[in-house]
Amino acid sequence: MSKPMIIGMMEKCHIIDKFTSDDAYGGSVVGYRVGASIDAAIIKNSTTEAIVAEKQGASEFFTIVTNKGSMLDYHSIIRRDSDSEYFMVTSREKDSEAPARSTIQISKVNAERWNVPSGVTIIEANSGNT
């Protein structure tokens, strides 16, 4: 049996985990590290509303389709491994899951392109910094 087209479009991505740690001055700092891998299809939103918003200076909008239960939630950050582009989730996965009786167990979220803030390092799980 062949795979549904959306499953065939999925590629390797990683969830980027946000963490806090103590700094040397009694405060805390925020950092990011590469977390769990997921398969996702990231599709640019080309609706008229999205195009108008982008022309008015808004971020680029995307739909991210994953296997159901991939743990993406509002403000989750994922990295597409093929080009190291980052995306921040702007909706809840629970709101757009396939019903339990569906033969394709997928869910979708909305997202925007995310730029790593200046001075922020994302720590690779295995090999130091990127």
CATH number at residue 11: 2.40.10.270
**How many domains, in total, are found in the chain?**
1
In a domain, 130, yes or no: no
User: Which band of pLDDT confidence, cut at 50, 70 and 90, is reported for residue 100?
Assistant: confident
The pTM is what?
0.81
How many Å is the Cα radius of gyration of the chain?
A: 16
Give me the torsion for CA of 109, 111, 117, 121, rounded to 10°.
Answer: 40
Give me the torsion for CA of 108, 66, 34, 127, rounded to 10°.
Answer: -160
Q: List, for residues 32-77, the tens digit of each pLDDT value.
A: 999 999 999 999 987 777 777 777 777 788 999 998 878 888 999 9
* Boundaries of domain holding 61: 5-125
